[in-house]
Structure 1
Amino acid sequence: MITQLTNNGGKVTLTLVGRLDTVAAQELNAELQPLLAKQNSIESLVVDAEGLEYISSSGLRILLTLTKQYKDFRIISVQPAVYDVLNMTGFTKIMNVERALRNLSVDGCEIIGIGGVGTVYRLDDDTIIKVFREGTTIEEVRGEINMSKEAFVMGMPTAISFDVVKVGGQYGLVYELLDADTLSACIKREPERIDEFARRYAELFRQLHQIDVPASSSVPCAMENERKQVMHIRRYFPQESIDLLMQILDAIPNGRSLLHLDLQTKNAMVQNGELMLIDMGEVGYGHPLLDLGHAYSAMVTLVGDYEKIIGMPKALGVELWNRAIGYYLEGLPADVVEQRKRQIEVVSCVRNFSWLALSDSFPEEVVNECKDVFEERVASRRDYILDVCKTFGDWQI
């Protein structure tokens, strides 16, 4: 029996590997309590049972003691044989027990989309899977699931994952989407319908932005997260560049609208004529200007391989955006429409670079490309950008 105890700021993990039989349980019981007593301010205790092959009644008694001792107690990654024992003895009803995640392979699967957070594959005709980038924690995955559920309840048309899995050393979310295809694929396949798709894309934005996020919601403030991302990329840009990006953000008015913050056309699935969102990792609340700026950054001024990331030729994607934003702003005076288009383009300058905060392992050539683009799109247009920022307050919601 192998045991290991780690303490990460009061979050303690006890890893068990092997067979927790009677003898091993006696040895563990003698060692564990003194070891726990030495830990400072234990906020939570997690037993990682991924490597646990067998558990005896003596081992069960240790778990029972721990669940009484610690309010925030969980057993995770429990293998089928051990789970059956916990279930039959009623332990699954008195403590938080999580089964081991099943393993899936995406070898040979079609790639639907690639983003900073992960890659989406089609498993079969009925299901897709989002595989998160390396380094993503299970807490981050669960956070996305919770955001999806909360946004769905508020009225956002989002697909809900029915399973968390492992793909090698990475986490994945499986979605059931019958006969669904990305909006990008639909536009590429039927470009003659681009105006119809543009109107529906615009309606999706409007639907989201009409949802007012209540103060009691756990949906985070989008602006706070955006500022954190900009501060995270200080490793790549001089302070004066970071200051300019922060000035753009500081000019954006407050708001409580529901924002997707990555609503490019590969993150919208068309199923039975309905648009469904599949990537909820960046959902937040704020002013619609921030959401539209993010989308403009992806659909018009993307840094990287456009067709690989967006899923259609750039000319087609830009045309879709131009039509969609026209429909989104439909009914406003022509001068207001032009002003808002300028505002959206300026806000997109932040997302052009803040997305680098989504991972610390982007290739050096990608980072260098962003540095080169910054001079062209932002630094050389500083006065124009700051002038446009002064008009942000005119956009009332």
Structure 2
Amino acid sequence: MSLSDLKHSLRKYEFPVCAKEALSRIEQLLVGRAAPSNKQLDVAMDIISEFVFCEADRRGGRDRRGGGLSPLQELQLIDIICDYLSACTNEITKNTVFLSLFGGMESQRRLKILSILASMAVSASSTPVLLAVGVWLQQMGCSSAQSLQLVENVIRDHFYLNTSNQVALKSLANSAPQFVSNFITAVTELYMHDAQGTTKLPPKNLLEIITSWVYSNPTLCMSAQLNPAALPSGSIPMAAVTPLAGLIHWCALAPLYIDDDSEMVEIPEVPMKKIKLEGETERSIVKTVTHKPLSESELYMRLHLGVLHSLRAGRRTHGPPTAVNAQHLAALAPVVQTYAHSVLKRGGKLQIDDKLQDCLDRIGQAVQVALANGCVYGNINNLLAALDTLPENRLLRIIIKTHQQII
């Protein structure tokens, strides 16, 4: 069928039926034994623009009235895409169509629709959609502007307040680990970075959920690398970047920014069943056990322990290390040095500054576990040289000296 015939057949349908029909035609064009030709790709992109996102009028030209979808049509389209992804049993087919829809992302309208789709998938714990979004994050690059914008939207919708959805959020680490791994990688780009003299800290609820994810599943951070994305024929896979370096930054710098007596984080009460004794009333069967809430500093301690366990789990039995980039670890040095200069400026002593020493201890622990388990790739000599410029810390000094001798 020629392009004109294909478009003519789709123009018989009104939205949203035309969008549903278009997805099946896109699949036929792009999925096969060989990579699609440039002509097939061009046809697929034209169909997507006109019949899925309504970015062109019925004559094929740009819609001068603004085009695009109404809010109701956006929700209808999201529903159609969800149904398609849920029904698609072949991962390559699913990712091929999904990346064709959202791969370029020059359009803010498409990014808005994708953000709503991702947020709804998180709410519904929709594994097929979340896995497709996880592949999209990886292919776009978790630190790209588009990925960060999507992740910010998901955080805004789900992680600013403690909600009854916490249990569902925590379960995502088991149902969609590749998405969660890439999501955390992007999240670490948003927080704990010094921007114009201020440091943006993650919302407490987000911190609690990420801590729960990492602490309870040591292999989670490696999920995107352990489960390579099923990509269309001829595509170039982007390397999966683990969130470990970003989380090491969070945990190491937390003592510099978080007060030990900071506001407590509420943890839901857990009912504990009790054996009913003769003569007891029904109300006494269940006894509520209240967990002591964790402060932010305690959450970062737990996250730090989870990261150390993850570094041990990230040990490669064969092939080069892929978990943590030495350059990313070395980037901690100037941040810590800036804080050390502020301590000296106000007349303090570096050796007895508890916050600084806690920070250096955590850097030393993370570097030691990462190097001992063969998780670090890149220029390790430069990493050790950068760490050697940090203020005096006994643990860190021993680790630097030991690995300098080994190298």
TM over 0.5: no
Structure with the largest fraction of strand: 1
Structure with the largest fraction of helix: 2
**TM-score with structure 2 setting the length:** 0.28
